[in-house]
Structure 1
Amino acid sequence: MKKKNSFIGLLPLVFFLVIYMGTGILSGEFSGMPLLLGFIFASGFALLLDKPGEKTSLDDKLDIFSKAGGEPTIILMVVIFMLAGAFYSIADAMGAVNSIVNLGLSVLPTNALLPGIFIIGAVLSFSMGTSMGTITALAPIGVGIAEQTGINVALVMGTVVGSAMFGDNLSFISDTTIAAIRTQGVGPRDKFKANGLIVLPAVICTLVILSFLSTGNAQIGTYDYELVRIVPYIVIIGTALLGWNVMTVLGSGIAVGSAIGLIKGDFGAVELFGFLQRGMEWMQDLAMIAIIVGGVVGLMNYYGGIDYLLEKVNAKIKSKKGAEFGMVILVSLLDVATTNNTISIITAGPLAKEMGEKYDIDPRRTAGLLDIFSSAFQGIIPYGGQLLLAAGIAKISPVEIVPYSIYSFLMIVFGVLAIVTGIPKFKNSFKAENK
């Protein structure tokens, strides 16, 4: 039986955007409506709807919601989120974060401060897989550098935010990477190659621009670090590059970090359990949001909303390039609306996958484009968590930072160029894994 397409199926998403954006506009605080609560309201609204001309019992709709929210891809994503949180918590507790930052600052040339800060932040965010963690670690040091050298603090914060979005986009263990590869059925190395080829020119251009903007000859000082404390990050990067399963990668990093922390006396065995639990708690909201969004999208699909959107988008798309522009516009708009690039990928991912299959777009490319554009917009919206955090640490308005988010803007520029030129091209076809 042919599935009926209906705009009704899109109403849960429209409802969410209205209450989320409406609350932000009315309160002047876009964090006024927590994402999890907003999606729970949207799920309740979705359960009140039905297919045009049909009647589905509440029990059946709850069953559809539960099966979609408990889909294997989403549950695996939740477990990976938890492990990523545990790793960051252990790395923080055993001093890995401070050591990797201080190592970079100890060798940072004083006549190339901004490029140096960007490189340190890029390495840190790639290692940790978290933009918020990178900003938390590096922004206070950036403020100190700005005070000592006289460099515009908004420029320094823009550099820090840009470096944080580098890892948020490219790291093997970032939640955006996990969301992109799981929704498109590709591996982290495949996505990294496609993604990296597109943003590499943006990195180079950013470093060149920052080198012209970098000034000052102040003595930044000497920072203490221990190389042994950086080993967990080396393990994470090395095992990921070897192609290990992401859960094995995270497990290895947690094990090594825990062992070093115990040997160095940073915590005892019982305290270790507490730090592991702390990290998992950090990711609980995101995990629950992923499940709720999965359920809502399942109902939207059942009501014909996804097919309706596909039909309307496809009606405007006549080529592969058009499909790529369609998927990146969708994920970008979702990020601007939700201020969460991971959620925007989770929401847009299934639709992007269908568009990719219809227009024969390599899923490695789709995963890379979704991550690039969602991360880029996350780095320039002034009400997003990253800019709010950086601005709060620097005691300036987040709007002041936006013009200096150089790397984020260049990600968009080179992302668009990649679509227009069709670069990178893949010699071998790739079949997405249906897991």
Structure 2
Amino acid sequence: MDKKSNFLGLVPLVFFLALFMGTGIITGDFTNMPLLLALIFASGFALLFDKKGEKTSLNDKIDIFSKAGGEPTIILMVVVFLLAGAFYSIADAMGAVSSIVNLGLSVLPANMLLPGIFMVGCTLSFAMGTSMGTISALTPIGVGIAQQTGIGLPLVLGTVVGSAMFGDNLSFISDTTIAAIRTQGVEPRDKFKANFLIVLPAVIITLIALTFLSTGNAELATYEYSLVRIIPYVAIIVSALIGVNVMLVLGIGIGSGAIIGLAMGSFNMVELFQVLQRGMGWMEDLAIIAIIVGGLVGLMSHYGGLDYLLEKVTSKVKTKKGAEMGIAALVSVIDIATTNNTISIITAGPLAKDLSKEYDIDPRRTASILDIFSSAFQGLIPYGGQLLLAAGIGKISPIEIVPFSIYSFLIIIFGLLAIIFDLPKLKSKDNKNDLTMKG
């Protein structure tokens, strides 16, 4: 066994899951154990451990925790949370939410609202390459639709999260795509072709399911809306589609909403400041949760927990199909442990490449497996950034959204079927642009 690997490094995660999930199961209500509190308890518990064969002082362990919690990606996520809250608050205060919801209710048939949200989210996330930006833009609209129609809010938010993970998985510019193709040495378009053929059935079934689930109290009627008031959403979507950074995208949305709100008398300058603060306040818990999760993962990595995962998941691989299952399991478990699908791909990628060479797995297929499974679980873990953001804007528990992240569940199923039945069939690397689903 690698001297760096140690099961004890995973015990804080087990403790957290047992505390959070156990309390919810025993009491019948997952809100009875606040997510932040469970994570703080788990972090305190983690400080009791030591790296295998070493003695680390409490001060050093706190430093490790603090540096990991303050990692640039985590801080960026915190700022995105705060900006997303500010945008939602200002969009609500100046009438953008009600206007765009009423426009949707006027244009779309009642049974096409959820498929419409899903397709818009897929397009947006694919164009901008970030699930967080997509959730920031669409969740306020989804909340409004749920309030107007009576469609369950968890279902609407699960639809938004699923659509966001579509682009996170497939976009040419997403972090996960870049990580997957770089660790496996393949071209973006080749990985996209292999990946898309695997998830296409999941997209189709999701749209069909959402059509049947789009039931509510919406009546066929013309609702009152203002095209001027929806400009902040148009600005966000357009700026995202042309590839603007997610923070700038949210800044454009906030700025345009402020200008229109002031011009149309929705609020004055002093009230605008209060509206912005209110929205950021809604997201404060989530921002702290992101930092605590980062610190906890840093301690688990220091103790050898992630190395233990790497070792155990791949130790029993004997066949090509077993190697593919091992790669899928490895990246999934690391994502559950780290709550970051890009980090999980970067961590699992080198070992996945070794397994691919040993068992003659096409690297395009390996890259697809890494990206599909990491993105799927990222859309399902209730303490991950995507569900935290959606739940924060919707003011519900993230655990309520999990059962309704239909697309995330389906891409796991079709990912497993692709491994079991060796689909899609990839032609030789000499003709690597030709892919087929034929046996």
1:137 aligns with 2:144: yes
Deviation for aligned residue 1:304:
1.2
CA distance in 2, matches of 1:256, 1:18: 45
Give the secondary-structure state (helix, strand or coil) at the position aligned to 2:315.
Answer: helix
CA distance in 2, matches of 1:137, 1:221: 17
Structure 2's unaligned 5+ residue stretches are 125-132, 182-187, 354-362, 383-387, 434-439
The amino acid across from 1:375 in the alignment is: G
Deviation for aligned residue 1:355:
0.8
Structure 1 contact 372–415 (Cα < 8 Å) conserved: no
Deviation for aligned residue 1:322:
2.4
Deviation for aligned residue 1:43:
0.9
The corresponding residue for 1:370 is 374
Deviation for aligned residue 1:243:
1.7
Deviation for aligned residue 1:118:
2.9
Deviation for aligned residue 1:56:
1.3
The amino acid across from 1:140 in the alignment is: Q
Structure 1 contact 240–246 (Cα < 8 Å) conserved: yes
Aligned length: 381
Structure 1 contact 376–411 (Cα < 8 Å) conserved: no
CA distance in 2, matches of 1:77, 1:405: 21
* 126-135 or 38-47, larger mean C-alpha shift: 126-135
1:224 aligns with 2:219: no
Deviation for aligned residue 1:184:
7.4
Which one of the candidate residues 110, 115, 119 is aligned to 1:118?
A: 115
* 26-35 or 129-138, larger mean C-alpha shift: 129-138
1:214-257 deviation digits (Å, cap 9, x = unpaired): 899x9522201111222222221222221222211221121112
CA distance in 2, matches of 1:119, 1:329: 29
Deviation for aligned residue 1:209:
5.3
1:330 aligns with 2:330: no
Structure 1 contact 5–307 (Cα < 8 Å) conserved: yes
Change (3 A) 1:90 1:122: farther
* 201-210 or 119-128, larger mean C-alpha shift: 119-128
CA distance in 2, matches of 1:349, 1:186: 8
CA distance in 1, matches of 2:198, 2:227: 32
CA distance in 1, matches of 2:108, 2:95: 20
Query: Any residues of structure 2 matched to 1:252-331 within 5 Å, and which?
Result: 252-317=252-317, 321-327=324-330, 329-330=332-333
1:260-292 deviation digits (Å, cap 9, x = unpaired): 111121111111112222222222212111111
Structure 2 contact 161–405 (Cα < 8 Å) conserved: no
Deviation for aligned residue 1:103:
0.9
Structure 1 contact 77–182 (Cα < 8 Å) conserved: no
1:296-354 deviation digits (Å, cap 9, x = unpaired): 1111111111111111112144656224421464378x4xxxxxxxxx76256534421
CA distance in 1, matches of 2:106, 2:199: 27
CA distance in 1, matches of 2:83, 2:389: 22
Change (3 A) 1:322 1:107: same
1:40 aligns with 2:36: no
CA distance in 2, matches of 1:67, 1:76: 14
Give the secondary-structure state (helix, strand or coil) at the position aligned to 1:103.
Answer: helix
The corresponding residue for 2:351 is 358
The corresponding residue for 1:16 is 16
Structure 1 contact 199–414 (Cα < 8 Å) conserved: yes
Query: Any residues of structure 2 matched to 1:91-240 within 5 Å, and which?
Result: 91-109=91-109, 113-120=110-117, 123=120, 129=135, 133-143=140-150, 160=156, 163-170=159-166, 181=175, 199-208=199-208, 220-240=220-240
Deviation for aligned residue 1:26:
2.6
Change (3 A) 1:137 1:312: same
The root-mean-square deviation of aligned C-alpha atoms, in Å, is 4.3
Structure 2 contact 16–42 (Cα < 8 Å) conserved: yes
Give the secondary-structure state (helix, strand or coil) at the position aligned to 2:267.
Answer: coil
1:17-72 deviation digits (Å, cap 9, x = unpaired): 12112222332211111111111111111111112342211111111111111112
TM-score of the two chains, using structure 1 as the length reference = 0.72
Deviation for aligned residue 1:13:
0.7
1:6 aligns with 2:17: no
The amino acid across from 1:169 in the alignment is: M
CA distance in 2, matches of 1:161, 1:119: 13
